[in-house]
Amino acid sequence: MTGTTRTSADLDPRRRRTLYRSWHRGIREMDLIMGRFADAEIGTLTEEELDDFELLIEVPDRDLFRWITDEAETPSNYDTPVYRRLKAFHQHGAPVDL
């Protein structure tokens, strides 16, 4: 089970591959962070944004997780609009209802 809620049937091969890689990173927390964002955004990313997202996929889980949780400073070469969208996608302004 991947966790994805999006079909890849309407995606080109590059976006299918990127969606798959988003959900198969290594640690479940990063699968959820990257995969949920990809489910929501993969179809609307421009080619340049997709380039930036694919670069983020290459970052080791531990490093990317620390950037997203503000435990470490994000290097300037990764602090792109796509990274900021990814980070904002997972921020909540109120408690999460369970």
pTM value is 0.83
Q: What per-residue confidence (pLDDT) applies to 92?
A: 66
Instruction: Delimit the domains of the chain by residue range.
Output: 13-92
Tell me the C-alpha distance between 16 and 2, whole Å. 14
pLDDT at 1 over 60: no
Structure confidence by residue, pLDDT tens digits, 31-90:
999 999 999 999 899 999 999 999 999 999 999 999 999 999 999 999 999 999 999 998
Q: What per-residue confidence (pLDDT) applies to 10?
A: 78
| Alpha-helix runs per DSSP H in 1-98 | 13-23, 28-41, 47-58, 61-68, 81-89
Instruction: State in Å, rounded, how far the first CA of the chain is from the last one.
Output: 22
CATH number of 13-92: 1.10.150.250
Q: What per-residue confidence (pLDDT) applies to 95?
A: 56
